């Protein structure tokens, strides 16, 4: 692209304005080329610049489409992961409630009612064995 840089010989002439118009067009060609290839020295071939522009726009459009599709799938995966997580949390809560209920029951068993007193030596010994058993259960149930 030859460039007779500089202003017109006779300002106001039609030829001059036509020259300015060409210069503006060429500046836009350069700018487009710079945008298309931010790294390299801009091309000076108008046909090549137009070809590149067509190619790049199509390529970027496809890329954006792919990325949007991927985004959509990732969002769906997140949605399902959150659902699974909530399900696990609920199941965990149920199990925890079960466990606490069992512990509560065992604790109340370990402390007998005040009026309950074995009157016979054999009964007292049996009661001792029962309470010993209950504590061992509690130990087993608390699990560290």
Partner DNA sequence: AGTCACACGTGAGTC
Partner DNA sequence: TGACTCACGTGTGAC
For a copy of itself, the binding residues (CB under 8 A) are 24-25, 28-29, 31-32, 35-36, 46-47, 50-51, 53-54, 56-58, 60-61, 63-64, 67-68, 70-71, 74-75, 77-78, 81-82, 84-85, 88-89, 91-92, 95-96, 98-99, 101-102, 105-106, 109, 118-120, 122-123, 125-127, 130, 133, 137, 140-141, 143
**How far apart, in whole angstroms, are the C-alpha atoms of residue 124 and residue 144?**
31
The CB-of-101 to a copy of itself minimum distance in angstroms stands at: 7
Cβ atoms of 37 and 27 closer than 8 Å: no
Interaction partner, residue 36 (DNA, a copy of itself, none; CB < 5-8 Å by kind): a copy of itself
Q: Is 3 in the site for DNA (CB under 7 A)?
A: yes
The CB-of-57 to DNA minimum distance in angstroms stands at: 19
3: region left, alpha or beta (phi > 0 left; psi from -120 to 50 alpha): beta
Q: Is 14 in the site for DNA (CB under 7 A)?
A: yes
Q: CB neighbours (10 Å) of residue 43?
A: 19
Q: Is 127 in the site for DNA (CB under 7 A)?
A: no
**How far apart, in whole angstroms, are the C-alpha atoms of residue 26 and residue 20?**
10
**How far apart, in whole angstroms, are the C-alpha atoms of residue 144 and residue 125?**
29
φ, ψ of residue 43 to 5 degrees: the values are: -65, 155
């Amino acid at each position: 692209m030859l460039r007779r840089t500089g202003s017109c010989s006779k300002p106001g002439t039609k030829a001059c304005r036509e020259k300015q118009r060409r210069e503006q067009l060429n500046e836009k060609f350069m700018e487009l080329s710079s945008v298309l290839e931010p790294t390299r020295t801009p091309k000076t071939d108008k046909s090549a610049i137009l070809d590149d522009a067509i190619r790049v726009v199509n390529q970027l459009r496809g890329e954006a489409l792919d990325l949007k599709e991927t985004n959509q799938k990732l969002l769906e995966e997140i949605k399902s992961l959150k659902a699974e997580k909530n399900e696990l949390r609920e199941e965990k809560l149920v199990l925890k409630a079960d466990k606490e209920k069992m512990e509560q029951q065992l604790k109340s068993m370990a402390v007998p009612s005040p009026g309950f007193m074995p009157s016979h030596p054999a009964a007292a010994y049996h009661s001792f064995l029962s309470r010993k058993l209950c504590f061992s259960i509690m130990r087993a149930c608390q699990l560290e």
